[in-house]
Structure 1
């Protein structure tokens, strides 16, 4: 996320319960899809500390196949989501998260499933004849067809996520809950999956998403753009941007495929910074370890299309031309947040603290601003001491200043405690390697650091990560 200023966000209140169309409900009942599967229902939520109802239990998604037909002029999206998942228990029913859009049909293993909807929760009860596919350890496929006008979710502070309308199209931003506004799924960062996203839009618009462009087909004035993300991705990092873009493709000397899409009104002011992407990636790899993906790039909208940048996987979204510091921050997230993804939203400081520290490192190496100077500036900033970075007081605070600035201070205090820069950067590279394409918590990080350093750092954690007040710098 953009850290200048970080924009706290919370999801809008859940919409009133929606009913399935009568014809669909009758069809499902007629198909005998209301019960019979042995086992128990998966949980409606994974008990995240801040978003208790977010995500779903009982299964693990391995792949999303999304086919979207987007008509910006009509403000209409029609989608088919093919969700491949592995049952982690014997399931009699399970849940999907979806906000706003109308469900037209649902099948599990090719047979109609009974569907109940309450706000953002879809409860699916498969037909009895597919019960063997929902045994623990088995893989099953769910297909949801849906349509409507996607929601823009507005938080209490006025910041927006979900489906954002732009001057010539739309952009989907998902942190922390916005992805449920454009596709059904298990929308918690702990459930990562591979993605194929095919978006059909009217000419002359372009649809850009994560990963690599597999194909582009045009017929009858509409173009289907097929994007593939082979590496695991949390749903909040998925994006679709539709509009008139200037695009550019290239390959870095290290073999990373670059794809940038820039709104023509932002192109001239963005060029010099975007040209730095290969250099920033190379520098970041030296600091943090090998780049964790096969593709990279950026999506640059026109100023005002959104209020913040977001580290969407492979190519961050920028709300207008970025500066180099912001580019460094969002690309650092490809290691911290996108590859090593937080276990819960309480672990956000692991994303933002490291990405902010990357800015400090870049400034030291390229702008003659010592890291100590950046640390001192953050230390003197009163906003960074509103709460401990590992314990935001509420969901609305997970993107507030302490998560960024004080998070970065925690990283630097570890470096000072080690008093060995080579060992410190080996520690960082080891962290990104140990949890590559996985999830990690604050407890995981503490255990890792103490095991690798052989030090008991209780005083450091108590003072800098969990402490309520500003510790004297002399305490080390």
Structure 2
């Protein structure tokens, strides 16, 4: 995804992912008492250099069951504020001996915490919910944490000042959380290395539709409210979860490959504004040929009526504000493989999300006869060396550069240059093995370089150095 137009674990699984990112803090024997465990606190973040407090150490979340009740704002001129109450039932495993652990929760207030079947003491400090389980948790122990919480919703912003998280709208809520905004609507381990499955029960005023990830289980209306139930059984990074609420119509069909498609279209959107969605089935087939089988239980789009120019690859249900153009539709769909199924091990690795998605749109438009990937590559290379495209280390753009032009355009150009260097067979072999090997988890730039060298049989150190590790415009590679 990007602020211009889109916004868009090495498979390491939750337990190892947390340890890999923050370092091991496993319990050791207490001094003078051999064999007796020494319990400690789980880290207050996953240790990502860009967002040190995002995510949590000491736990691996397996599943979130989110029971949400939301009242949107009253009509204007009432304040643009909603009311959200929720109960999050979280299944997790301790990855160290714990006497305390954290969840991320921002702008909402927890009223109770239950671990297993017992009420537990907790505190909230800043954006951290700190839980003290008794009895303490041992390494490898599974438990359920139930948090009741709620508060007034507004329009939170990220580090750049852009709207994200649970963004209150007059008819509901736009829920788009990249990179660390999920904590604005539920208690969470908010880093991609801690993927989990999800289920949602979202209660809203009758007549409003609540749209989440995965498959629609059903809806039930009583006493002027409708509860929408969704199930998302595929591992998902928290920033890709949604519970968008609005005046939507649901359009459902089956793609050519058998994938259920569920589109949620705001009632104010014209047929022209969503015409590109009709190509979704063909796009899925096209990307399956290049990247492997579509990885999730469903797909579809949310097309809202906001005019913020926002699109995000929300897992299984890409989000578009205002309209959905063909290039953007292809970009967000490609993310389901590149960014969602294989997610960044650190936020510095975001070029692997956005470069692949941008390049995927290039090759889709080539397939459609609109323009060639080579022509789009050349357009990037025609930018002068003084262009802002060439002032960023793509593999380390900084937290304020995550959604900048270099990550997208130079990222895509890197992939095209790699394709030319190693040939089509090796290039698409790299793409398919990337998805097959790391799908369901996360991976890093170092993982991608190692895989590209493995599949191509070439030494690519100099190539990647000039393309992703140095800021100047590449001239020789």
TM-score (norm 1): 0.89
Counterpart-to-counterpart distance in 2, 1:401 and 1:174: 20
Counterpart-to-counterpart distance in 2, 1:189 and 1:156: 17
Deviation at 1:385, TM superposition (A): 1.0
Pair 1:439-2:439 in alignment: no
Counterpart-to-counterpart distance in 1, 2:55 and 2:100: 15
Pair 1:42-2:46 in alignment: no
Pair 1:274-2:287 in alignment: no
Counterpart-to-counterpart distance in 1, 2:235 and 2:6: 26
Cα contact 2:466–2:474 (8 A) shared by 1:
yes
Secondary structure of the corresponding residue to residue 284 of structure 1: helix
Of 358, 361, 366, 2:360 maps to 358
Pair 1:113-2:115 in alignment: no
Of 378, 398, 405, 2:402 maps to 398
Cα contact 2:105–2:186 (8 A) shared by 1:
yes
Counterpart-to-counterpart distance in 2, 1:7 and 1:79: 27
Q: Which residue of 1 aligns with 2:221?
A: 218
Which structure 1 segments of 5+ residues have no match? 9-36
Relative to structure 1, is the Cα distance of residues 267 and 259 closer, same or farther in structure 2, using a 3 angstrom cutoff?
farther
Q: Deviations over 1:362-421 (max 9, x none)?
A: 1211134221110011223423212121011x3111111111111111111211111x21
Aligned residues, how many? 439
Which one has a larger percent helix, Structure 1 or Structure 2?
A: 1
Of 325, 333, 336, 2:335 maps to 333
Which structure 2 segments of 5+ residues have no match? 9-36, 75-81
Q: Deviations over 1:318-360 (max 9, x none)?
A: 0111110000000000001100011110110000000010011
Relative to structure 1, is the Cα distance of residues 140 and 157 closer, same or farther in structure 2, using a 3 angstrom cutoff?
closer
Counterpart-to-counterpart distance in 2, 1:266 and 1:368: 25
Deviation at 1:112, TM superposition (A): 1.4
Pair 1:65-2:65 in alignment: yes
Cα contact 2:158–2:181 (8 A) shared by 1:
no
1:321-470 superposed matches below 5 A: 321-381=323-383, 382-392=387-397, 394-418=398-422, 420-470=423-473
Relative to structure 1, is the Cα distance of residues 63 and 7 closer, same or farther in structure 2, using a 3 angstrom cutoff?
closer
Counterpart-to-counterpart distance in 2, 1:323 and 1:356: 14
Counterpart-to-counterpart distance in 2, 1:182 and 1:303: 20
- Bigger shift: 155-164 or 241-250? 155-164
Cα contact 2:61–2:195 (8 A) shared by 1:
yes
Secondary structure of the corresponding residue to residue 359 of structure 2: helix
Secondary structure of the corresponding residue to residue 269 of structure 2: helix
Cα contact 1:450–1:457 (8 A) shared by 2:
yes
1:39-438 superposed matches below 5 A: 39-73=39-73, 75-128=82-135, 131=136, 134-155=137-158, 157-304=160-307, 306-381=308-383, 382-392=387-397, 394-418=398-422, 420-438=423-441
Counterpart-to-counterpart distance in 2, 1:386 and 1:198: 45
TM-score (norm 2): 0.89
